[in-house]
Structure 1
Amino acid sequence: MATTIGPSYDPAATAAALAESYVAARQNVLTTQSQRATAAASALTKLKSAISAYQTSLLSLSSTKTMLTRAATFSNTGLGTATASATAAAGSYSFFVERLATANQVQYSGLADTPAGTGTINVSLGGVAAFSVNLSTADTDANGTMTARELAAAINAAPANASKVSASVVTINGTAELILKSQATGAASAITLTTSPDTNAALQAKLAPGNATQVVAGQDARVWLGAQGTGTLITQATNTFTNIEGVSMTFTKAQAVGETPVTLTVAADNGTTTANVQKFVDEYNKLKSVVDGMISPGDPDNGKAAGAFADDGGVRVLQGRLISILRQAAPTGETMAAYGIIAARDGSLSLDATRLTKQLAINPNGLDALIGKASGVTPSGIAGNLDTYLKQWSSSVDGQIKQRQEANDRMISTLANRQNQIDKQYDSAYKRYLAQFTALQALQNQMASNTSMFDALFGSDSK
């Protein structure tokens, strides 16, 4: 009968288990460090994105130049539109729109199949030379004739035109008519054409000033401040008026004689102002939420892990600095709380719209002095201080995040090298243990074979 000497085992499995045990302590430490480094890399990327988004929102608010807004509205919106900046004084104004400014539009007939050739067309606006058109390349299909469409294309493509005059073709009763329209409005937009002496005689005759049909005469706008005939007449080349400081009015329709003047009302736009302040509050809270999550101690009892920077004093300084900047008053004494921007104990913000509206009625300009702007040239107020401080973190040259990312990358590289060393130690131990236990297994097998032979020769059952 066969006899088994010692335990039965798999040399490969045994070698692997012993090799893993040999490096286990060092591998556990390295794994923990690698997980922390990976988490830090992800957290730094998230923090960089959050700070960048917040700085963008501050610049967006600053681009409007003011958080305080005013509205300008017409009593009859069919006559035009108006906008007002924060500098516009509240008030009511009356206007009578007698005439709108128009752009000159002229028509030239009989230009079909004009003989091609050299020459120049000189275009003037309001009697002032504007640009010239070289006719030598106008015959684009090189068939010896120049159509109205080819002439229109040559005018539009003239290098010095720059859209001062647009040329098009309208077919009337089967005939292509050349239409020229000035881009600018007003009496000074009148289009006149002259030709050089070397221009084809037939074309010279057709483009002569007397052959132009005035489709739309260029004229200035006439708007009365007050009633027509008794108020003050304002005449200008465009339909957009900026006569009232901080207000821009664009009229789109003229009134009939005897109509009641339209009323323009300039007043505070508390709804838009409140929306601007609410955006400031919301964007700050988004950034704060990200920072808070990164330094959170977690709640092990409820399975909530700590933040990636729970033990990082630098990120805690970031959190505290943001809160302290928000609590600063303006140089003129305005505070966030006065304008309804309330900071909770944890530093998060909320907006009391009612308190904001009341304070705007008392001191409307104080809001901009308090919030300020995140301008790279002249930062001011809370927004400017926040942006200036955050640049210490977000700078791509020497910012905190860049420095931390570089240090963390070096750590990850070092840990990778250490992992390679542990892998080599594991492989060496595995090969050593495998050789030892393979040899031991061979010895056991040999001993078992000898025992079986002895049992066969000298056992009680042998004959």
Structure 2
Amino acid sequence: MSSLDPITMATQLATFDVQPFQMRYQMQADKYQAQIAALGKVESALRDFRNAVNDMNSTGSSIIKNTATTTQDGFFSASADANALSGSYQIFVEQIASAHQASAGMPADMDANTEIPTTGELTFTVNGEQMVIDLSTVDTDGDGKATMSDLVKAINNNTNPGVNATLVRSNGQTHLMLSSTETAAANRVEVSATGTGAAWFEDGFANLNTITEPKDAVIWLGAQNSGLKLTNASNTFEGIIDGVDITVTKAQTTGDAAIGLNVGADAEATKEQVNKFIEAYNTLITALDEHTALGGEDQKRGALANDPTLRSIESQLSGILRGDFNGMRLADVGISINREGKMELDNDKFTEAQKNNSAALEQMFNGKGNLLDSIDSMMEPYLKFSSGLLSSRKESLQSNIDRIDDKQAQLERKYDMAYDRYLKQFTQMNNIMTQMNQTMSMFG
């Protein structure tokens, strides 16, 4: 009579006890994990589509793209947003804005290591705002001395009203340069040193050498001296023409002709934007189709087949896209949904709609309660980060997985108990068989 291996037998029987449950739990966990992954991909595609929608329906943006072009380069550039009205204008650039830049009248032998007074104050004023530096605090290493380099750091590291300091070396000489951080005539840098006991230091700041005068930008809407004069603190004039920003880069010479500025619809940019919208929608539909597929001979069943949440998304989107907005439908401007549920663009029909009815085209897409706003409102409940329907679905599925993990842990304990029981039984059986074999050998 052969002996038994108690460990092998206990392992096999304990495994048989828990194996069906392990397989069932693993299948459930894999199913839930696949659904979470699929929901994540659908959510990403839905968010991308919503971003495309918002890019065409945010402040200053619409389905219609405008462009601004100039008849001469080099003096100013312009950009036009969705609010810009078509038109032709004349612009003359008289003066560009500049920041104040000056050098302090310090001794010729001054350099970065020149010691400065450690008593008194240095006061900067820019556009009515002040910064006062206590010179006793400029010393950074605690040796009781402060240098010109320490002073530059103190100026720049302070919460100042808009002044920068730097040391510039030229022809073997070091200069302390002061610059306003913003352009405009109002941003002149004024500085004074008091109570230092060092005449050379106080005189240096009392006698600034202006290198660049602070100036406002000046343009004329029309010809110089006969049009509308406009001034601005910076070189960018925002909204002087509705929806148009103008940035000047170079002043013209007195007597030059004004430069033409043409504002109008950009048909190609508008079509490109629509194509991005269509592409994002089709990517979303592809994701929905992939993960909700019922499966068949040539098709894999999707992880979210027959999922009611995704069916609702498709149904709501389809209803909106086939709807009527301000008396127009997408089909009227060449945008249709094919048999596969994908969006297509008829370029000729869309171009015709742009030419003949651009205002109606914009009204259909943009504005409260119209196409893009309706799509955004429909997607909002699904995409909220903390309480969105898709996030809630994923959290629910993860909770199911966590419960399965708990069951798996219980199953491991059940396996250990069964293993110990079987090991004890087979060990006893093996001992009995060994005794029987020994007894039989005595009669052999």
TM-score normalised by structure 1 residue count:
0.77
Residue correspondence of structure 1 range 136-215 to structure 2 within 5 A: 136-140=136-140, 147-161=147-161, 164-197=162-195, 200-208=198-206, 211-215=207-211
Paired residue for 1:96?
A: 92
Q: CA separation in 2, counterparts of 1:323 and 1:123?
A: 64
1:331-359 C-alpha deviation (Å, 9 max, x unpaired): x2232223333222343212334333332
> What is the Cα-based RMSD across aligned positions, in Å?
4.0
Alpha-carbon distance change, 411 to 203 in structure 1, aligned in 2, over 3 angstroms: closer
Shift of residue 266, structure 1, vs aligned partner: 0.8
Paired residue for 2:321?
A: 326
What code does the residue aligned with 2:186 have?
Answer: A
1:428-455 C-alpha deviation (Å, 9 max, x unpaired): 59949x959x78x969x97xx89x97xx
Residue correspondence of structure 1 range 61-460 to structure 2 within 5 A: 61-63=56-58, 65-67=60-62, 68-111=64-107, 112=110, 113=114, 115-125=116-126, 128-140=128-140, 147-161=147-161, 164-197=162-195, 200-208=198-206, 211-242=207-238, 243-299=240-296, 301-302=297-298, 304-330=299-325, 332-372=326-366, 380-416=369-405, 424=414, 428=418, 431=422, 435=426
Residues 106, 214 of structure 1: 8 Å contact kept: yes
Residues 326, 336 of structure 1: 8 Å contact kept: yes
Shift of residue 87, structure 1, vs aligned partner: 1.5
1:160-218 C-alpha deviation (Å, 9 max, x unpaired): 33xx122222223433222222223233233332333556333222222xx22221222
Give the gaps of 5 or more residues in structure 1.
Answer: 374-378, 454-463
Q: CA separation in 2, counterparts of 1:409 and 1:360?
A: 49
Please state whether the residue corresponding to 2:315 is helix, strand or coil.
helix
Shift of residue 248, structure 1, vs aligned partner: 0.9
Residues 76, 250 of structure 2: 8 Å contact kept: yes
What code does the residue aligned with 1:327 have?
Answer: R
1:110-143 C-alpha deviation (Å, 9 max, x unpaired): 25346513222333346x4543333222344667
What code does the residue aligned with 1:39 have?
Answer: A
Alpha-carbon distance change, 222 to 404 in structure 1, aligned in 2, over 3 angstroms: closer
Q: CA separation in 1, counterparts of 2:338 and 2:8?
A: 60
Residues 117, 197 of structure 2: 8 Å contact kept: no
What code does the residue aligned with 1:227 have?
Answer: A
What code does the residue aligned with 2:124 have?
Answer: V
TM-score normalised by structure 2 residue count:
0.80
What code does the residue aligned with 2:120 have?
Answer: G
Q: CA separation in 1, counterparts of 2:88 and 2:134?
A: 53
What code does the residue aligned with 1:288 have?
Answer: I
Q: Which has the larger radius of gyration?
A: 1
What code does the residue aligned with 1:272 have?
Answer: A
What code does the residue aligned with 1:364 have?
Answer: S
Give the gaps of 5 or more residues in structure 2.
Answer: none
Please state whether the residue corresponding to 1:224 is helix, strand or coil.
strand
Percent of residue pairs bearing the same amino acid type:
29
Q: CA separation in 1, counterparts of 2:248 and 2:402?
A: 67
1:406-436 C-alpha deviation (Å, 9 max, x unpaired): 443444355456666777489859949x959
What code does the residue aligned with 1:170 have?
Answer: V
Residues 366, 372 of structure 2: 8 Å contact kept: yes
Please state whether the residue corresponding to 1:293 is helix, strand or coil.
helix
Please state whether the residue corresponding to 1:223 is helix, strand or coil.
strand
Q: CA separation in 2, counterparts of 1:359 and 1:192?
A: 60
What code does the residue aligned with 2:194 have?
Answer: S
Shift of residue 72, structure 1, vs aligned partner: 1.0
1:367-425 C-alpha deviation (Å, 9 max, x unpaired): 4443348xxxxx74333333333333333554333443344344435545666677748
Shift of residue 48, structure 1, vs aligned partner: 3.5
Aligned residues: 432
Residues 99, 187 of structure 2: 8 Å contact kept: yes
Alpha-carbon distance change, 114 to 392 in structure 1, aligned in 2, over 3 angstroms: closer
What code does the residue aligned with 1:92 have?
Answer: S
Q: CA separation in 2, counterparts of 1:334 and 1:75?
A: 37
Residues 66, 368 of structure 1: 8 Å contact kept: no
Alpha-carbon distance change, 207 to 385 in structure 1, aligned in 2, over 3 angstroms: same
What code does the residue aligned with 2:39 have?
Answer: L
